Structure 1
């Protein structure tokens, strides 16, 4: 399979590229500069520029574009929130329009989204759950809407991804830094639930979605819910580090801004992977203990 990937140099993109290439697939990264190799494809998503001819021999497109939600020391100012929207909606729309205009469109378009689309919810949400309230829910809803132009031409999957448990990058990395120093602890009450998924399961799920006849929204989250206190406890155990400290909600709101703290770290959401489970996908790391052990093993390998 020939796969075109946006965000190929990021944490998920580079890991997915390696996983696909190990299975014999050909990966073509999208780059925001002049292409330097025959494999690279140049585009300018800010200007909506991608030559549809670049898709003529592509079987699948994977869209992983999007600026990180938390970029310390930056706060969620109006301009930063606009950047979060632009970095997701612009690239997604550019890809969708190129697919629409391609003479031979790819068979499948996997486009990133997030479980933040459900907002704060007391009950578990499968893919039929309603769009929630808040900046993050609105952002994800517009992000998914940007795939519209491609839906009559390719099988479109909107990947609602939870917090990714990987050894580097992403939200977990910001939690691991103080924990590795012995300064770890819960955030806020610690009772809020984070939809989460271990990186190997995320990569396996993406490859599963490339091959299976699935379209529409798909929750990429573990079937076993865990709150932040459980996350911190298991990570501390796996890393053999203390976790006695805690960061109160007001301190997070002061340091990150209220919207960022409340919507990214303090909101409680449970997302169930009903579509994946219904199609027979098997999670290798369904529980927090297994995921924490895997993260710790990867950190030991790379240290």
Structure 2
């Protein structure tokens, strides 16, 4: 178990702060008294979305241009990198696949460049988002951080993404690659789209139902990023619940929590018409376990699916 906290910069740089996980992480950091430098392509638009009194920490919102100088002046030595073109929700055309690959390579490269000029005084830290897509897909295998990467498109993207992040080690940085599973929360990610048919009374199995869903509650996703910032850990860590489920179990559990029927299946062929190869995100999964997070001593707040979904929908409209 790793319980000791490490010293880190007073201000944490965050890229991808407009995303689902990024917004939650920024709120958490600010409420905990951290200063946050938010890097976004549209600083003015994002500035209007930060609520007054978001926390006691300092907030600075800036674009990518001139970032190195600003980060040096603010003595930013710790970074959480979340930026990248969304993987799910759009058809994987050749152009979209290129955008997914390019956005991750270019943004990670720029963060590493900024980190290479850290002002000193402490060991630089890079906590870089990654994905369980690293392992490829399987209905039978069980994956931990000790397993090699797969060879499909998503696995290739994730391996490249992580290789770019690991370049920061050349500059003495402590690098943690957080391999996110399906992040569950009400404000974004996959869950709102999955819930919609249940609200209409037509929810049901997606594809065969045998594919695995390696999921994580948003609070635990944020918690693992914080853990990686504050503890002397490095390497890859799977940000998933210790209890993955099949899509069949996921759907039946969601129906039960929402108090809705579970009956109308969604054929895989229909999803492929809409999303092409991108449908594999829903139709082909992987059973991933958080072996390293548990070894490090991270305590999951929401380890079981039914409790996690009940927490997400508690007190709200069902």
TM-score above 0.5: yes
8 A Cα contact 1:62 1:109, kept in partner: yes
TM-score, structure 2 normalization: 0.86
**In the alignment, which of 32, 37, 41 is matched to residue 28 of structure 1?**
37
- Equivalent position SS for 1:8: coil
In structure 2, the gaps of 5 or more residues are 1-9, 48-58
8 A Cα contact 2:18 2:40, kept in partner: no
Residues 255-303 of structure 1 deviation map (CA, whole Å, 9 limit, x = unaligned): 211x1112x0111301111111001111111111111111222643xx9
Which residue in 2 is equivalent to 1:285? 302
**Correspondence 1:50-129 to 2 at 5 A:** 50-56=67-73, 57-71=75-89, 74-104=90-120, 107-121=124-138, 122-129=140-147
Distance 1:221 1:282 in 2: 12
TM-score, structure 1 normalization: 0.91
- Equivalent position SS for 2:126: strand
Which residue in 2 is equivalent to 1:248? 267
- Equivalent position SS for 1:61: strand
8 A Cα contact 2:118 2:124, kept in partner: no
Distance 2:69 2:147 in 1: 34
8 A Cα contact 2:213 2:285, kept in partner: yes
In structure 1, the gaps of 5 or more residues are none
Displacement over 4 Å in runs of 4+: 33-38
Distance 1:245 1:12 in 2: 30
Residues 107-154 of structure 1 deviation map (CA, whole Å, 9 limit, x = unaligned): 311101100010013221111111112110001001111113311321
The answer on 1:193 being equivalent to 2:212 is yes
Which residue in 2 is equivalent to 1:13? 22
1:42 positional shift: 2.0
- Does 270-279 or 178-187 show the bigger shift? 178-187
Residues 160-192 of structure 1 deviation map (CA, whole Å, 9 limit, x = unaligned): 000001112112222122222222111101110
The answer on 1:39 being equivalent to 2:60 is yes
8 A Cα contact 2:134 2:159, kept in partner: yes
Q: How many residues align?
A: 293
Classify 1:243/1:55 alpha carbon distance in 2 versus 1 (closer, same or farther; 3 Å): farther
1:210 positional shift: 0.8
